[in-house]
């Protein structure tokens, strides 16, 4: 009868040792894995996108076009028209419903789902802005004309003053000439009288 193999008494000890090592290593491995920096997960509501430009001078948009553009980027539009009392020269060349301002800067970061305030102008505001522009231009023209007239008046005054001065100078020169003539005449007459007296004395 064959003799049964007797189990090695060291196997149990070996398995216990391995189990102990694994048991002690596993918590360390888990801790190391936990310490590895994880990429921050961004939920749909926290996703950031660039704010599109809505007020380009080269490519102006209507309110509806701006709304469509914002919605295509996952944003909401709150349309607000410019009040008539806020009409100014900068709106004079706009077209009706043109977007003229927003509360977000182009290319700034916004969250998907955010609401963007979009300001646009109506034809009434455009017309009022043109009237303001015409008024400003008239005031400029009037001021320019008044300046020209003041300058002309000053030149006329200078010209008149110069003419008077020259006239007075001419009169003074004329009076001086007469005085010189009278003086010469008196001298000649006096010399003649002296010569006549001398001739009478000699006789």
SS3 for 40-89, per residue?
CCCCHHHCEEECCCCCCCCCCCEHHHHHHHHHHCCCEEEEEECCHHHCCH
- Do residues 102 and 55 lie in contact, with contact meaning Cβ atoms separated by under 8 Å? yes
Per the structure, how many domains does the chain have?
1
Of residues 131 and 189, which shows the higher confidence score? 131
- For residue 70, being part of any structural domain is answered with yes
Query: Which 3 state secondary structure label does DSSP give 116?
Result: strand
In this prediction, residue 181 carries a pLDDT of 74
In this prediction, residue 134 carries a pLDDT of 96
| Predicted confidence (pLDDT) per residue in 44-89, tens digit | 557 899 999 999 989 999 999 999 999 999 999 999 999 999 999 9
Distance CA 106, CA 50 (A): 8
- For residue 121, being part of any structural domain is answered with yes
Averaged pLDDT score across all residues of the chain: 81
In this prediction, residue 39 carries a pLDDT of 46
- For residue 83, being part of any structural domain is answered with yes
- For residue 57, being part of any structural domain is answered with yes
pTM for this prediction: 0.54
Owning domain of residue 91: 46-129
- Do residues 96 and 82 lie in contact, with contact meaning Cβ atoms separated by under 8 Å? no
Residues 176-200 have a mean pLDDT of 73
H/E segment holding residue 102: strand 99-102
- For residue 117, being part of any structural domain is answered with yes
Q: Which residue has the tokens 């300058």?
A: 151
- 194, pLDDT greater than 80: no
Give me the CATH number covering residue 101.
3.30.10.20
- For residue 171, being part of any structural domain is answered with no
How many helices (H) does the chain have, and how many strands (E)?
3, 5
Which phi and psi (to 5°) does residue 133 adopt? -60, -45
| Predicted confidence (pLDDT) per residue in 79-96, tens digit | 999 999 999 999 999 999
Distance CA 68, CA 74 (A): 10
- For residue 143, being part of any structural domain is answered with no
Distance CA 185, CA 173 (A): 18
Residues 123-140 have a mean pLDDT of 96
In this prediction, residue 40 carries a pLDDT of 47
- For residue 97, being part of any structural domain is answered with yes
């Amino acid at each position: 009868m064959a003799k049964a193999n007797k189990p090695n008494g060291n196997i149990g000890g070996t398995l216990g040792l391995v189990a102990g090592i694994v048991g002690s290593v596993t918590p360390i491995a888990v801790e190391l894995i936990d310490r590895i920096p994880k990429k921050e997960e961004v939920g749909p509501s926290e996703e950031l996108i660039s704010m599109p430009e809505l007020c380009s001078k080269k490519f102006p948009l209507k309110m509806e076009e701006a709304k469509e553009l914002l919605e295509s980027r996952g944003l909401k539009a709150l349309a607000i028209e410019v009040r008539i009392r806020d009409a100014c020269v900068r709106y004079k060349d706009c077209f009706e419903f043109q977007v003229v301002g927003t509360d977000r800067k182009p290319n700034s970061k916004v969250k998907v789902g955010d609401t963007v305030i979009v300001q646009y102008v109506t034809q009434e505001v455009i017309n009022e802005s043109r009237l303001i522009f015409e008024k400003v231009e008239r005031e400029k023209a009037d001021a320019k004309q008044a300046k020209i007239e003041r300058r002309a008046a000053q030149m006329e005054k200078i010209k008149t003053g110069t003419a008077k001065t020259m006239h007075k100078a001419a009169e003074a020169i004329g009076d001086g000439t007469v005085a010189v003539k009278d003086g010469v005449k008196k001298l000649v007459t006096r010399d003649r009288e002296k010569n006549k007296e001398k001739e009478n004395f000699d006789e």
